[in-house]
Amino acid sequence: MNTILITELHNSEPLDQAKHELAAVRKALSEAHAAATAHDTKHNEAMKQINEDIAQLENTVDTLRRRVASGSASGHDTSRHAELLQDEESRLSKLKSQRENTVASSQESEKALKTVIEESEGEWSRLCAKIEELQPAIELAQRAAESYAINPKWGIGPAIRFKTLGDAMAHHCQVYFDLDNDANATRVTIDDQWSTSIGGCAKIDVLPHSLHWLSTFQEYSHFPHEGHRQLRWKEHERSNKAKALAFYFIEESGEFLTTGRPGEVIMAHDHRPDDSEGLIRNLTMILGSFDEKLAAYGNQLAQGGPLDLESPNPENPLHVLVAQKWQALKLRSEKAAPTKATYGRLGQEDILKIIGPAWWAFVASPWERGTRGTHALLKHLCLQRKTPHFFSTEHAGHFGFRLRTPDHDWILGEIYCRPDSFEAALEVQPDQTINMEGGYWMSEIGPVKIYIQAEQFRH
């Protein structure tokens, strides 16, 4: 399965990038403050000079005005002074306009520099907050990964990637369906923790009693039969012993989850228990609890009354999962369920036309250490060209056989091949035979399943 490490999710690249950007902002802020200081100095010097020139010209204009007034009063020619007064007044007006323009220009520059400084300070604050947020998580992730490297029972190991929380539940959960005598689902149990009744009509095909032995084979292991009315859907085997923590990553939400509580994660530490305990308490910033999420949805399911398997609540991924499992089981059972025979009772010759090649391939298959008892005797007699008596049953592809032994006992057995696999059964080879592990009273060769009763019978 595709996995992800906690250090891939909390890697140092964003932190390094934030620090690089912070350095650039620091430089820009320093340059902006220097530019503001230089601007203030230049502005103050320019204004000082202009104000001094204006003050000097104002004195000159006042002096010339008094002379023109005095000369006009005494009847003297004041034309030269009047001309000088006009020139100085013009210069004074220009200087005052220059002062106004200098003040306006300075204000615009000051405003622009203030904007740059405020934006840089805002970016500085944002980056500092980002670094403050990223750094502890990255350090925790690194410590957790290092702990796992020291001891796989410690820290945070690789997480299996799932697109949604529902996908993770499908991988993690074991779902059981209880059936009544008519093969209607009456109750569902999830992980032996949450159970609720099933509403409406939810019916599934079952193995007839005469073919209950097929449930030994993987292909039919999910079929219920008389005396076995609980369906069990397993995505994977899980030990009954205390489970080690597992980790799941949910792509849809970006969550890194553990099958337990973050506080159960053991962290390696360098003889600083207080520091290590602090890390454990803070693991919640990088690690969530899958079990807590599962429990919330499981409790909602168990307390919600009869469960509708046809229209699951899309807000509860556990309800959706149960409905999906049920539909998958229905499809599987509909496809593989035995059907009633339509060809009537067949004779020996007609039966051998269907399963003869597979039977003789089974007889000719290599012997094994576990080939013993009735199984060994059956092969031995058939290799001496003894042919069992075959008979058909009420279900298509289901045949029984009897073979007389030298001791006048009978070896009994059954054969099953789905009708849609009759042609494939004609092509099987001896080396395709697989004897069931742990007893060898069951064998399969291609699509053909063979059941040999261990005991021999007189009748």
**What's the whole-number mean pLDDT along residues 245-273?**
81
Residue 95 is assigned to a structural domain of this protein: yes
**What's the whole-number mean pLDDT along residues 429-440?**
79
| pLDDT exceeds cutoff 70 at 228 | no
Residue 342 is assigned to a structural domain of this protein: no
360 in the same domain as 310: no
**What's the whole-number mean pLDDT along residues 349-368?**
94
| DSSP SS3 for 304 | coil
| pLDDT exceeds cutoff 50 at 233 | no
| pLDDT exceeds cutoff 80 at 416 | yes
Residue 41 is assigned to a structural domain of this protein: yes
Structure confidence at residue 242 (pLDDT): 44
pLDDT higher at 43 or 267:
43
**Within 10 A of 453 (CB to CB), how many other CB atoms are there?**
14
174 in the same domain as 69: no
Mean pLDDT score of the chain: 86
| pLDDT exceeds cutoff 90 at 249 | yes
128 in the same domain as 159: no
**What's the whole-number mean pLDDT along residues 424-440?**
83
Which one-letter DSSP state was computed for residue 244? P
**Domain membership of residue 273 as a residue range:** 151-337
Residue 13 is assigned to a structural domain of this protein: no
b vs e for 205-227, b when ≥16 Cβ sit within 10 Å of the residue's Cβ? bbbbebbbbbbebeebebbbbee
96 in the same domain as 116: yes
| pTM, two decimal places | 0.65
Residue 371 is assigned to a structural domain of this protein: yes
Structure confidence at residue 456 (pLDDT): 65
| pLDDT exceeds cutoff 80 at 148 | yes
Distance CA 152, CA 154 (A): 5
| pLDDT exceeds cutoff 90 at 440 | no
89-98, 208-217, 264-273: which range is least confident on average? 264-273
Residue 343 is assigned to a structural domain of this protein: no
Residue 99 is assigned to a structural domain of this protein: yes
Report the chain's C-alpha Rg in angstroms: 46
pLDDT band for position 437 (cuts 50, 70, 90): low
155 in the same domain as 123: no
pLDDT band for position 165 (cuts 50, 70, 90): very high
311 in the same domain as 189: yes
Residue 304 is assigned to a structural domain of this protein: yes
pLDDT higher at 327 or 437:
327
Which strand ranges, in their side-by-side order, compose the sheet holding 230-233? 194-197, 185-190, 175-179, 230-233
255 in the same domain as 329: yes
Amino acid of residue 246: A
253 in the same domain as 124: no
End-of-domain residue from the set 137, 166, 193: 137
384 in the same domain as 285: no
End-of-domain residue from the set 87, 115, 137: 137
259 in the same domain as 233: yes
End-of-domain residue from the set 308, 337, 366: 337
Structure confidence at residue 161 (pLDDT): 96
180-184, 249-253, 265-269, 275-279: which range is least confident on average? 275-279
| pLDDT exceeds cutoff 90 at 348 | yes
**What's the whole-number mean pLDDT along residues 314-322?**
93
249 in the same domain as 132: no
**What's the whole-number mean pLDDT along residues 380-406?**
94
197 in the same domain as 254: yes
pLDDT higher at 224 or 37:
37
| pLDDT exceeds cutoff 70 at 50 | yes
Structure confidence at residue 239 (pLDDT): 45
Structure confidence at residue 281 (pLDDT): 58
Give the count of domains, the chain. Answer: 3
